[in-house]
Amino acid sequence: MDVVNIFLTSELGESLEHFVHDHRRFTFDRLGPEGPRRLVEGPMWAFIDWVLPDLAGLEMCRRLRADPRTADAHVTMVLEEDDPEDRRRALRAGADDYVVGPLTRTAVLDRVLALQSRASERSATRRFELGALTIDMAALQARWDGEPIVLRPNEFRLLRFFAENPNRVLTRDDLINGLGKREPPIDERTVDVWIGRLRRSIKAAGGGNPLRTVRSLGYVFDLG
Amino acid sequence: MDVVNIFLTSELGESLEHFVHDHRRFTFDRLGPEGPRRLVEGPMWAFIDWVLPDLAGLEMCRRLRADPRTADAHVTMVLEEDDPEDRRRALRAGADDYVVGPLTRTAVLDRVLALQSRASERSATRRFELGALTIDMAALQARWDGEPIVLRPNEFRLLRFFAENPNRVLTRDDLINGLGKREPPIDERTVDVWIGRLRRSIKAAGGGNPLRTVRSLGYVFDLG
DNA sequence: CAGTGATGTGACGCGATTGTGACGGGATTG
DNA sequence: CAATCCCGTCACAATCGCGTCACATCACTG
């Protein structure tokens, strides 16, 4: 069972500590302007109030996204009132979600539990974050350190397949099948050309080379 | 004249199609567990039954709120009975409103028409700021770096729809549905012409090209 | 350090996809 | 009711994507 880490900008955490009975499943931390005070493993759920004493909530949200430690936290903005424009701003600042406040203990837990089931589905369909590389499945756009990478459709599919199987040697056959190309049969050497083109495109965007050749086997997407 | 989009979780839509005379003002769609089947422009009104065959109504409501495409829909929960606890739960899940069912055709239309005046205030002041691009919904005016962009009606709607769904691949079909053009059926290639005209108009105002072609899929409005 | 097999890559060409000027009918305007 | 505008369609042009080939380069072996 995974740990669920909940970050809050308000004092609600202390009250939640007592509210929740199964302490092993949850941790709570107060979120300050410097980000989280301690590192945690497992999924992170941040609830950020729209207005904060020392910092705009939106800015806090952007900082979380920019910090590699918290970049893949699930961020919920807590709006003061139900303004469509605020909602959009929240999402645009990188929030995954929002609620209309004030935040209650049950609201936090309901939300976390409700979204938890969707989390796997979301990460599969929405967005990869792999080191400097980001892949946005909705926009079909990859970035290296925020810099857009111009990719042809096949290159994008290839990169995505690598991103789905990091740190794992993929044979040329794996790659051909992984991209769903059976008809007409593809020459295995063609994969080398795919790799070359993908590498070149990433480099053109100022990126490094995350694709390592494993002689006489295939290629690996190196991560960490 | 804005389109009014009504989403229902029941089959009532089909019956409403025949009930309403002014077809140009309304669209109806059945709301499934995956959210709306097509993207639309203009205000969205969702009516969600409290109990659904495959999904709790509350969960459906949360999903609508979490999905940027539908985040600012007006959501009405259709309760089975008038339980104060249910009402509270509905609102907490992000519903704007509730009625006690069962839902009738007139109830839907009355509700939409009654609430529309309130909604129009909100949307009248709406204003997008997307990078260099500004869209003023009240003045029906778009600008690039402050420079007015001369747009034909269809181009404006197209741009608006893109602005409502930035960083997201929109298929030609999404765009046709999104602009509410179903009758008579529009040739998908026509969308390419729309795009070309919109690009040209933006360029004529000294703007760049925020519309990226995604080969064999559609187009994206790139932001950031 | 020569030999051998594997990988990197520029070039080519076909087929598919997209861009766009032209046209005409219908709506809109004055 | 004439002039203008808007927009959907078509046809052709321009561009793009990608699989393959051929040759260059590289890595490992003995």
Instruction: Out of A71, A104, A122, pick the residue that ends a domain.
Output: A122
- Both structure tokens of B183: 């009758």
Residue-level pLDDT at A123: 39
Q: Does an H or E element contain B98, and which?
A: strand B97-100
Is the pLDDT at B205 greater than 80, yes or no? yes
Q: Is the CB of B150 under 7 A from strand D?
A: no
Q: How much is the ipTM here?
A: 0.70
CATH number of the domain that A141 lies in? Answer: 1.10.10.10
When pLDDT is averaged across residues B180-204 and rounded to a whole number, the result is 91
- B72: nearest CB among A84, A115, A141: A84
Residue-level pLDDT at B78: 84
Provide the β-strand partners of residue B170: B219
Helices (H) and strands (E) in chain B, counts: 7, 12
- Higher per-residue confidence, B35 vs B8: B8
Residues B81 and B149 in one domain: no
CB B174 within 8 A of CB B210: no
Is the pLDDT at B181 greater than 70, yes or no? yes
When pLDDT is averaged across residues B116-136 and rounded to a whole number, the result is 64
Residues A72 and A171 in one domain: no
CB B92 within 8 A of CB B75: no
Say if the Cβ atoms of A140 and B222 lie within 8 Å: no
CA distance A155 to chain B (A): 12
Q: What is the pLDDT of residues B6-18, one digit of tens each?
A: 888 876 666 655 5
Q: Is the CB of B185 under 7 A from strand D?
A: yes
Residues 114-143 of B with CB under 7 A from strand D: none
Instruction: Out of A91, A122, A153, pick the residue that ends a domain.
Output: A122
Peptide linkage before B36 cis (omega within 30 of 0): no
Q: Which residues touch A28 (CB under 8 Å, ≥6 apart)?
A: A5, A6, A7, A8, A13, A14, A16, A17
* B153 CA: nearest nucleotide by C1': D6
Q: What is the pLDDT of residues A117-147, one digit of tens each?
A: 444 444 345 677 888 899 988 889 999 988 9
When pLDDT is averaged across residues A4-18 and rounded to a whole number, the result is 67
Instruction: Report the amino acid identity of residue B32.
Output: G
Residues A46 and A105 in one domain: yes
Instruction: Out of B100, B124, B148, pick the residue that ends a domain.
Output: B124
Range from A30-34, A50-54, A209-213 that averages highest in pLDDT: A209-213
Q: Is the CB of A154 under 7 A from strand D?
A: yes
CA distance A84 to chain B (A): 6
- Domain range for A175 is 130-221
Q: Total structural domains in chain B?
A: 2
Angle at alpha carbon of residue A166, lines to A163 and A170, rounded to 5°: 100
Is the pLDDT at B156 greater than 60, yes or no? yes
Residue-level pLDDT at B215: 92
Angle at alpha carbon of residue A47, lines to A45 and A53, rounded to 5°: 140
Say if the Cβ atoms of A99 and B96 lie within 8 Å: no
Residue-level pLDDT at A120: 40
